Amino acid sequence: MANITILDQSTINKIAAGEVIERPAAVVKELIENAIDAGANAITTEIKEGGISFIRVTDNGSGILKADIPIAFLRHSTSKIKTVEDLLSVSSLGFRGEALSSIAAVSQLELVTKTPGEINGVRYIIEGGEEKSIEEIGCPEGTTFIIRNIFYNTPARRKFLKSTVTEAGYISDLIERLAVSHPNVSFKFIVNNQIKLHTSGNNNLKDIIYNVYGRELSANIIEANGKSDHIVMSGFIGKPIISRGNRNYMNYYINGRYIKSGIINKAIEEAYKPYTMTHRYPFTALHFEIDSELIDINVHPTKMEIRFKNGEEIYSIVYHTIKDALAGKELIPEVVLVK
């Protein structure tokens, strides 16, 4: 008997799935990004037991054609790019075509979807990567995904999940960031039948910050807008007084995508230096529009890291815009009287 064998397809899929889907929050991220890419302007996410037993994401986007459904669950199937050249100008959040196949490989998945052009919708069930049924049903336009029992067939991964409270916390943080990154989309988040967050989606960033972070924080933010050759920057920064001991409130978005960047962190922190003690980090909710040819987002499967072809330009616009916004401002905190 040979010692070297080729893994069967189901094993290959489960291993690949692990790279994209680490925990329930990763499922929620992929499903919400797909909903945004499908043009939805209202997205409801519901979870039970930290998303481990139940995740439901409902959108009012384009829906998926019946004939496209089985294809959407194949690995490397995407409607968003056709060739490697398209990667340079990708404007959608997804493009790798790995999410649905990965989620389906490690969970029990139910999909209900309807496009505006079709009379009936479709319900599709796939478990552990195996198609169980596809049938026509009546349903509203848009798409609902229900993910049950993530990692039910990969116990080794399930063991690495944290408590339901911690997993729910990751999902909550994620939805807050997504809500701020897409102020034109109304987000609802329901945990164990209780509404935890509901943003208006009225495209007014200050209102969304109020929805997400509350009255106290939104009373202590300053507008920070700037522009350079290839970059438009807009959004809000916190008065130094509301700085924190970690970078959790230091969020920014490039072309609608939440990312992390050492260059941007450094520029923000340098601009705040005269106003904050060391190891205090400000609140930021900043949007950058950058020509997509000047960035490379194809760095990691979770697409959180970005490479800039114009690092100096981004550093300079962030540093100077924040410095100017803070200079000469009344930085005394606004005390909010709770009614």
Instruction: Give the binding site for Mg ion (CB under 5 A).
Output: 34, 94, 99
Total residues interacting with ligand ADP, rule: CB under 6 A:
22
CA distance 221 to 236: 6
- Residue 126 found at the interface with ligand ADP (CB under 6 A): no
Vertex 145 angle, CA 143 and 151, to 5°? 160
Nearest to ligand ADP of 119, 337 (CB atom): 119
Task: Please state the closest distance from residue 117 (CB atom) to ligand ADP, in A.
Answer: 13
Q: At what angle do helices 164-181 and 205-213 cross, to 10 degrees?
A: 170
Question: Cα-flanking dihedrals φ and ψ of residue 185, to 5°?
Answer: -115, 135
CB distance 40 to 156 below 8 Å: no
* Binder among 24, 50, 51, 61 for ligand ADP (CB under 6 A): 61
Nearest to ligand ADP of 63, 240 (CB atom): 63
Task: Please state the closest distance from residue 299 (CB atom) to ligand ADP, in A.
Answer: 15
Which amino acid, 109?
A: L
- Residue 35 found at the interface with ligand ADP (CB under 6 A): yes
Q: What is the DSSP string of 287-309?
A: EEEE-GGGEE-TTSTT--B-EES
CB distance 226 to 320 below 8 Å: yes
Residue 198 interacts, among Mg ion, ligand ADP, none and using kind-specific CB cut-offs from 5 to 8 Å, with: none
* Binder among 23, 30, 238, 284 for ligand ADP (CB under 6 A): 30
Task: Please state the closest distance from residue 48 (CB atom) to Mg ion, in A.
Answer: 23
Residues at the site binding ligand ADP, with contacts judged by CB under 6 A: 30, 34-35, 38, 59, 61-64, 72, 77-80, 94-100, 143
